[in-house]
Amino acid sequence: MSKPGFASRIRGPPHARLHRRCRCHWHCRWHWHWHWHSHGHPVSATATVPDTALVLDPAPMTSPSPAHLDLCVSTTLALPSAAACDLRLVEQSPGRAICRLDVTEAVCAGTGALSGGDLYGLLDSIAYLALITLLPDDETGVSHDAHFSLLSMAPRGTEVEVRSEVQKRGRNLAFIRVEAFVLGGDEPKPLALATVTKSIISMKQRLRHRPRG
């Protein structure tokens, strides 16, 4: 009489046998599927595995359609604060965005230099322009937390360049670094630095308060 195999000597469902042998505490069908194909662990011939355990969902869409991206960009550039300083998109690639703006009287608050309040909103908007390149059409990002540091002043009449880059994009959060520079000299002068955290939510949730009609 043949000696029973390892899997038949341990009680429990097939996935439990695999986990016990690997000394692992993950009890999910995804982990079972990975172990089976990566290590070829034995399973008794009589063991049955649900069909759903071997079905992998297709990879989620990780970039927007061109039409949706154009809509998000045009909507952002049409915001009052953006229009007041002629904010324009210079370059955009996956996870990155570069914009330029003119320091006009409308964003100086009568001080002769770009006001911090206006600058904060612009940095947050440009952080969004970097994030949307990594989101499908049915997702968007909303500000969750932000930290700003002003390093110098941007006098009226100067041009400012803002560069934003997504440092990490998780399932529910994205962390974005934004830097602003004053142009016009031999080298760009650092103006401001920001770290922006955005929550990733569905577009339906984002637009739930939009007026109907």
pTM, two decimal places: 0.70
pLDDT given for residue 213 in this prediction: 65
pLDDT of residue 62: 75
- Find all residues with CB under 8 Å of 31, minimum gap 6, and list them: 15, 19, 24
pLDDT < 50 regions, the chain: 6-61
**What pLDDT does 28 receive?**
46
Running DSSP on this structure, what letter comes out for residue 178?
A: E
Q: Which pLDDT score, from 0 to 100, does residue 186 have?
A: 86
User: How confident is the model at residue 164, as a pLDDT?
Assistant: 98
Give the Cα separation of 155 and 111 in Å (integer). 9
Looking at residue 149, what is its pLDDT? 96
Among the listed residues 94, 77, 190, the one whose alpha carbon sits nearest the alpha carbon of residue 134: 94
Given this model, what pLDDT does residue 79 score? 96
- What is residue 185's predicted lDDT score, i.e. its pLDDT? 81
Domains assigned to the chain: 6-54 (no CATH), 66-206 (3.10.129.10)
Which pLDDT score is estimated for 55? 39
Identify which of 54, 151, 68, 134 has the alpha carbon closest to the alpha carbon of residue 95. Answer: 134
Q: Residue 141 in contact with residue 198, Cβ under 8 Å?
A: yes
So what's the pLDDT on residue 50? 45
The encoded tokens of residue 85 equal: 């300083």
Q: Using an 8 Å Cβ cutoff, are 76 and 129 in contact?
A: yes
Say if CB 103 and CB 85 are below 8 A apart. Answer: yes
Residue 213 near residue 158 (C-beta atoms within 8 A): no
Element at 10 (helix H, strand E): none
